[in-house]
Chains A and B, each alone.
Chain A
Amino acid sequence: GENVEQHPSTLSVQEGDSAVIKCTYSDSASNYFPWYKQELGKGPQLIIDIRSNVGEKKDQRIAVTLNKTAKHFSLHITETQPEDSAVYFCAASIAGSARQLTFGSGTQLTVLP
């Protein structure tokens, strides 16, 4: 089955700096890669996703890149703010043929004021 590895497990950045979280996946058939943000006491919230037919997607301060050849994808957050502090999860699935999302183990991001 699919295996998703996520790094780093913890990340601290100064407010205003950029943060990068990386994930690798094992199944070359995977074609859908969502990112979730989980704040304390809440469930995971989808923040951005990317599909295998594109290499990069941006939404304001958040961007995701995908390298299908190397089987890795990354989340980039620019101009970080204290409210970006949360746990971030990457996931992978085979859209259209599988219901299961395989999640990474999460990254605790702390933005220091």
Chain B
Amino acid sequence: ETGVTQTPRHLVMGMTNKKSLKCEQHLGHNAMYWYKQSAKKPLELMFVYSLEERVENNSVPSRFSPECPNSSHLFLHLHTLQPEDSALYLCASSQDPVLAGGWGTQYFGPGTRLTVL
């Protein structure tokens, strides 16, 4: 195991539902990330948090709302999703390479497989 856990592992939701994805890291890292992984496409970075502050938002639609209450937990709140949002959502953590000046090796969780009907 990498020290990054995600729940739930699978989620099926309708377009009008509201749900949340949870990520927890046990590595003592200060940066956390949300990625979207769709078939046949590279991993897409969605959000980056450093010291609980959002530092990057890669043009993600507002129907995705992240939350980082502390350095160990990261949430992704979902509402009014579209079928094309169906994908594997991955959480990762690292030491912030900008703050620490290091390599920022990222460690990933197992992902949440999301299906939007």
Residues of chain A having any CB pair with chain B under 8 Å = 4, 32, 34, 36, 41-46, 49, 51, 89, 93, 95-106
Contact = CB atoms under 8 A, between A and B. Distances in A.
B96 interface: yes
Interface of B: 2, 4, 6, 31, 33, 40-43, 45, 48, 50, 55-56, 90, 92, 96-98, 101-111
A108 B96 CA distance: 30
Nearest to B56: A99
Given A93-B104, A99-B31, A43 B40 contact: no
B98 A97 contact: yes
Nearest to B91: A43
B97 A96 contact: yes
Contact of B2 (A43, A49, A89, A98): A43
A4 B90 CA distance: 20
